[in-house]
Amino acid sequence: MINIKKVKKPFSKTDDGNAPEVRHRSLALIFMFILIFPLVFSLFIFSKPETAEAQVVPFGGLILDRRGCSTSCGHVSGTLLLYVGPPVSAWVMYVPGVSILYPFESLQRGNWVLGIYYPGTASICWRRDSGRCFSNGWAWGNINMVGTSL
């Protein structure tokens, strides 16, 4: 009798009964679950969020327009919408108790001002007329601090 050895085919089953490509795929999945997923998960859990810092924008020039905002429309008493002309123009909102006003404390038309405001805190200045509130103008942001001339 002739003894014939069985030759394994390239995609034949291994000793454990699984095809080799199935075993490699399962090893790759195990590798991902054991090493990669915990690493990615820990990056989200242990990372610190960046602290948000408000950016301020400078403005300065002659006050060319000054408009009062009505308290009956929800504004704090004394809230003003200011248009500051060149050299650094801006429409800004002065809110008493929030905005810091340095001497000479005069936000009148014709006075020079220099200050910084928070952009993106845009506000509408409301005025009451005939029992209804109407827009009296729009500010680019609220004043953080401002100094004035006489």
My answer on whether 34 and 64 are in the same domain is no
CATH of the domain at 118: 2.40.50
Inside any domain, residue 127: yes
User: What sign for the dihedral angle of Cα 46, 49, 50, 53?
Assistant: negative
Non-local (6+) Cβ contacts of 44 within 8 A are: none
What pTM was computed for the model? 0.61
Calculate what percentage of the chain has a pLDDT beyond 70: 73
My answer on whether 20 and 91 are in the same domain is no
Is a pLDDT exceeding 90 seen at residue 103?
Answer: no
Q: What is the pLDDT of residue 94?
A: 93
The domain in which residue 76 lies consists of: 57-148
109-143: buried (b, 16+ CB within 10 Å) or exposed (e) per residue? eebebbbbbbeebebbbbbeeeeebeebbebbbbb
81, 67 Cβ separation under 8 angstroms: yes
My answer on whether 31 and 74 are in the same domain is no
Average pLDDT over residues 105-126: 89
How far apart CA 101 and CA 67 sit, in angstroms, is 17
Helices (H), strands (E): how many in the chain? 2, 6
My answer on whether 143 and 96 are in the same domain is yes
Inside any domain, residue 4: no
Q: What is the pLDDT of residue 130?
A: 86
My answer on whether 30 and 100 are in the same domain is no
My answer on whether 91 and 28 are in the same domain is no
My answer on whether 134 and 95 are in the same domain is yes
Q: pLDDT band for position 8 (50/70/90)?
A: low
Calculate what percentage of the chain has a pLDDT beyond 90: 34
Inside any domain, residue 3: no
Structurally, how many domains does the chain consist of? 2
How far apart CA 99 and CA 52 sit, in angstroms, is 20
My answer on whether 65 and 94 are in the same domain is yes
